[in-house]
Structure 1
Amino acid sequence: MSFGESPNTTSLDFNQLSDPSQASAMGLDDFQEQLPTRQLLKVTPGPSADEQYDRLAEVFRPVFAQIAATAKERDRNRVLPFEQVGLLNRERFGALRIPVAEGGYGARLVDVFRLLIELSEADSHVGQLWRAHIAFVENVLVLEDQELRSKWVSRIAAGQIVGNAYTERGGNALGTLNTKASQVDGRWLVTGEKYYCTGTIFADWTTVAVAHPELAGRQIAVVSTQHSGVKILDDWDGFGQGLTGTGTTEFHQVPVDTFMPQQKNDPEAAIFQLVLMAVQAGIARAALNDLRISVQNRTRIFTTGTGVPVHREPQVLQLVGEVSAESFAADSVVIGAVLEVEAALIDPGLNDEERYAVCELAANRAQTIVQPLVIGATSKLFDGLGASSTSVICNLDRHWRNARTIATHNPAIYKARIVGDYEINAVQPQRLSVTGEDSNHRA
C-alpha cells in the first residue's frame, strides 16, 4: 500500500473518485475522509533511501492515523488528548533518541523531526506538547555524570515523559525568578507558580526553572508531576493550540528529584524553536489536505468563475499549487535546519560558543521563513473554498489559529534581527533565560 492510501480504498479508481461530476454532491461540512491521492514523492523530505526512517514510520504512522481521525472534533470541543498521548506512549514515542542498546529506537535527530512533522500533520496540539521532552532528551544524552544519565535514560526508555515549567506569567523582575528551591530538613523543595507549561499536564516529570540560594542564575530542577504538592491547571486561554496544556502549574514544597547540570551553550533553545517549526510544517500539510479534499468534493460554482467545475478552475488550481509549494518549502526548511543542528552537535571543530551560534542561527533562519509561509498557506485555504468554508462546523480556521499562535513564540519578531546582527556585526546570539518585568519602566 503506497503513501496516501487508506486500507479501504486500495481498489478504488482515483480518476473517478476525484471527479465531483461522477460523485454525489457533498457540502464542506460533510466531508469525513480523504479521497485517495497519488503520492509521487515521499511523505517527508529526507535521504532517498532511509531504511531506518521507514522502520520508524511503520511503527508510528498507524498511531498518527488514529490521532488524526479525531483531531478536528477534539479541537472544536476542547478535549485534551490524554488518550492520544497514551497511544504514542504505548509505542514509546519519547524514547526515539535513546540508543537501541539502552532500550530506545536509536533514531537520529532528523528522524525525530520528520516524525514530528507527520504527527503535527495529524494533530498540531499533540506535536507541540512533546516540545520540552524532546529538548530534555538531548540534554540527557550528553550528560557527563554517567549515573545521572543512566537514571534518566532508563526512565525515558520505559516511556516516562518530561514537561516544562520555565516561565512565570508576571511579577518577577527581569533576570529573577519567584519560584525558588529551598532546603528543608536536608531535602530540596520547590515552591512557586509557572505558566506556559506546555505538555506538563500529560507528563510524569517536569523541569522547573528556579532560583537557588547557593547557585547563581537560573537552575533547572526536575520534579514529579504526581506529587501532591503539584497542581496543574488547564487554563491556557490562547485562541490557538488550546489542547497543549500550556497553562498554570503550581508547586507547593515539591521534592526535587534532580538538579540538571548547567551545560554551557547547549542547543536547548534551538531545539525548542525547531519543534515549533516542525509543528508549523505539519499544520501546513494538514491545511493542504483539507483544501485538497474540499476542492475535490465541491460542486458549487460561481458565475464569476470560468464556468468549469471547481476541481478544474484554473485559479483554484493555482491556489492549491501555491499552498502545496508553501507546505513543501516549510518541510524542507525545517529538515535543513535540523540537519544543520545535528551536524553542529557532533562537529569536533566547533567550540561551545560556535556550536551554540550555529544551532541558534539555524533555528532563527528557519523561523523567519517558515512562519509567514504557513500563516499564508492556512489563510489561502479559505480563498479556494468561499464563505461556506468559514462555518464553525468545518473548523478549518483551526489551522490558521494554531499557526498564528505558534508564530508568536519567544518572540518571533526578534529572530531576523538577531540573524542580521550576526551577519553584519558578528554579534553572538544571546540566550533567552528569564523573562520578567522591566524595572526601569514607568507608566
Structure 2
Amino acid sequence: MAVESFNDAHNVEADPDIFGAVNLDAFTGNTPARHLLKLTPGVPKDGRYDELAAIFRPVFAKIAAGASERDANRTLPFEPVGWLNRERFGALRIPVAEGGFGASLLDLFRLLIELGEADSQVAHLWRSHIGFVESVLQLEDVTQRHRWVERIAAGQIVGNAYTERGGNRLGTLNTTIAKNGERWILNGEKYYCTGTIYADWVAVAAAHPTRAGRQIAVVSTQHSGVKIFDDWNGFGQQLTGTGSTTFENVPVDSVLPEEQQINDPESAIFQLVLLAVQAGITRAALNDVRSAVQARTRSFSTGTGVPVREEPQVLQLVGEISGTAFAVDSIVLAAVAEIEVALADASLSAAERFAVCELSADRAQAIVQPLALSAATKLFDGLGASATATSCNLDRHWRNARTVATHNPAIYKSRIIGDYEVNGTAPQQLNAIGDVGAAQATGVP
C-alpha cells in the first residue's frame, strides 16, 4: 500500500508538473484529485530545493519499494544506503565550491523528511553523519576542516559511538584515548552506535588523559580493532545499526578541537533528525491509510452503508491524519529554520547559540512526538482488525515512531523549556549518559 502511494505521489517523470497549478475546470465527479500538498507547508518553493529533490526523489522511490519487506525480514538496508551514497546524499551540506551540493539546512531537512516517508529507518541511520557534518562546517582549524570536507564530498559516511551501555558514572566515560608513541590509540565499548555499520568512519566519545569532559575521536571502521555488531533489539527502527561497537587499540585519525566540545549545537541537530524521521513516519501513515481506504470494498454493518471511501467518519479520520502530517512538517521545519538563523548569527555567543538551538529542538520535540504517535495509531481505526495482520506490517509505523520518541527522553523537554520561560535557566549540556549514585541523585558531591 505504502509503496504505490509513495511512487504515485512522487512520479515526477510521469507528471513533471505534479506540483504545478491545478486547472479546476478539468475536475469532474470521477476525476481523482492529485495529492498536491507534498511541498512542505509554510516553506516557499524555490529552485534550489526543486533541483535537489529531482536528484534524490527517484532514489527515495526505489527505497520505498522495499521498506516494508526489509522491516518485516530485518534486512539491513546496505543497498539503499549505497543508492543514496552514489548520489552523495551525505554531501548535501558541503559548499558547492568544495565539492558538495551547497544545500541549506532547511533544504536538507525537507529532503530528509521525504526520505523518512520512504523508509524511516534509512533516514534515521544518517543521523550521526548529518550531525558530524554540521560540526565540520564550524571547524576553525582549516587543515582539519579541509580534510573532512574532502572526505565527505567524496561520499564517505561518518557513524556514531557516543553512548556506553552502563557501568560508567554520569558525566564520565570508560572509553579512553591514550598516547602510544606518536599516535593516539582508542579503547572501549559502545552501544546505540546508530549508522556505524554502514559508515567509513565513526565519531567516538572518549575520555582524554589531560582534557576534562568528553572528547570526540574519529577512527576508521575498517581497522581490524573495530568490531561492529547488529545487536540492537528494540521493537522499532531495527535496521538503523543501533547496536554495539568495540574498539581495541584503534589508531585515532582526528580529535575534534576541545573548544568545539563546549556549547556545540550538535545535540539539537541530532534531535531534529529524529523529528524529521517522525515527520516522515506520519506522512507514511497517511499514505498507507489513504491507499487502503481507496482500495477497500468490505465494510461494517455499523457503518452508514456506503462504500468505505465515502464513509463520513472514515474520511474525517483520514483528514485528521492529513492535518497531523501537515502540523508535524510545519513544526519540524520551523525549528530547523530557527536553528539555521542562529548558526549564521555572528552576534550570538557560543552559549547563546547553544541555548537557542536546544530550545528550538526541545519545543518541537515536546509537540511532535505525541502527534506522530497519534497518527500511527489512528490509521487502524479507519481500517479495522484486518489491518493488524502481520502481512500488512502497518504496525511498523507505530513501532518506529514509538522507538524514536524514547530518545533523549522527551519527558524532560517541557520541564527544560518551562524552566527557561519562567526562571531564565539555560539548557545544560551533559557530556555523557551514565549511572547515577545515591550521592549524585541527592546533589551531594
Q: Is the pair's TM-score, using the shorter chain for normalization, greater than 0.5?
A: yes
Deviations 1:333-360 (A, max 9, x none): 0000000000011112222211111100
Match 2:140 to one of 138, 141, 144: 144
Name the structure 1 match of 2:399: 401
Name the structure 2 match of 1:416: 414
Does the CA-based 8 Å contact 2:178-2:208 persist in structure 1?
yes
Cα distance, 1:244–1:14 mapped onto 2, change above 3 Å: farther
* Distance in 1 of aligned mates of 2:33 and 2:287: 10
Instruction: Quote how far apart the aligned CAs of 1:49 are.
Output: 3.2
Structure 2 residue matching 1:227: 3-state secondary structure: coil
Structure 1 residue matching 2:159: 3-state secondary structure: strand
Q: Calculate the aligned-residue CA RMSD, in Å.
A: 2.0
* Distance in 2 of aligned mates of 1:406 and 1:241: 8
Matching of residue 178 in structure 1 with residue 174 in structure 2: yes
Deviations 1:215-237 (A, max 9, x none): 11111000000000000000000
Gaps of 5+ in 2: 1-6, 16-25, 441-445
* Distance in 2 of aligned mates of 1:229 and 1:349: 44
Cα distance, 1:14–1:222 mapped onto 2, change above 3 Å: farther
More deviation, 83-92/39-48: 39-48
Name the structure 1 match of 2:231: 235
Instruction: Return the TM-score normalized by structure 2.
Output: 0.92
Name the structure 1 match of 2:61: 65
Matches within 5 A, 1:370-389: 370-389=368-387
AA aligned to 1:406 is: V
Does the CA-based 8 Å contact 2:171-2:430 persist in structure 1?
no
Name the structure 2 match of 1:215: 211
* Distance in 1 of aligned mates of 2:44 and 2:247: 48
* Distance in 1 of aligned mates of 2:195 and 2:27: 40
Match 2:271 to one of 270, 273, 290: 273
AA aligned to 1:422 is: Y
Name the structure 1 match of 2:22: none
Deviations 1:162-211 (A, max 9, x none): 00000000011111111111112221111110000000000000000001
Does the CA-based 8 Å contact 2:10-2:57 persist in structure 1?
no
Name the structure 2 match of 1:155: 151
Instruction: Quote how far apart the aligned CAs of 1:41 are.
Output: 2.8
Does the CA-based 8 Å contact 1:5-1:37 persist in structure 2?
no
Gaps of 5+ in 1: 19-35
Across the two proteins, how many residue pairs are aligned to each other?
A: 423
- Aligned residues: percent identity? 68
Name the structure 2 match of 1:78: 74
Structure 2 residue matching 1:181: 3-state secondary structure: strand
Instruction: Quote how far apart the aligned CAs of 1:441 are.
Output: 7.1
More deviation, 183-192/367-376: 183-192
Does the CA-based 8 Å contact 1:190-1:251 persist in structure 2?
yes
Does the CA-based 8 Å contact 1:140-1:153 persist in structure 2?
yes
Following TM superposition, where does structure 1 have runs of at least 4 consecutive aligned residues deviating by more than 2 angstroms? 5-10, 13-18, 39-49
* Distance in 1 of aligned mates of 2:438 and 2:229: 32
Structure 1 residue matching 2:438: 3-state secondary structure: coil
Deviations 1:234-261 (A, max 9, x none): 0000000000000000001100000011
Does the CA-based 8 Å contact 2:163-2:192 persist in structure 1?
yes
Matching of residue 321 in structure 1 with residue 319 in structure 2: yes
Instruction: Quote how far apart the aligned CAs of 1:40 are.
Output: 2.9
Does the CA-based 8 Å contact 1:4-1:37 persist in structure 2?
no
AA aligned to 1:363 is: A
Matching of residue 339 in structure 1 with residue 337 in structure 2: yes
Matches within 5 A, 1:229-268: 229-262=225-258, 263=260, 264-268=262-266
Instruction: Quote how far apart the aligned CAs of 1:9 are.
Output: 7.1
* Distance in 1 of aligned mates of 2:186 and 2:12: 50
Deviations 1:262-319 (A, max 9, x none): 3231210100000000000000000000000000000011110111100000110000
* Distance in 1 of aligned mates of 2:174 and 2:373: 35
* Distance in 2 of aligned mates of 1:270 and 1:75: 28
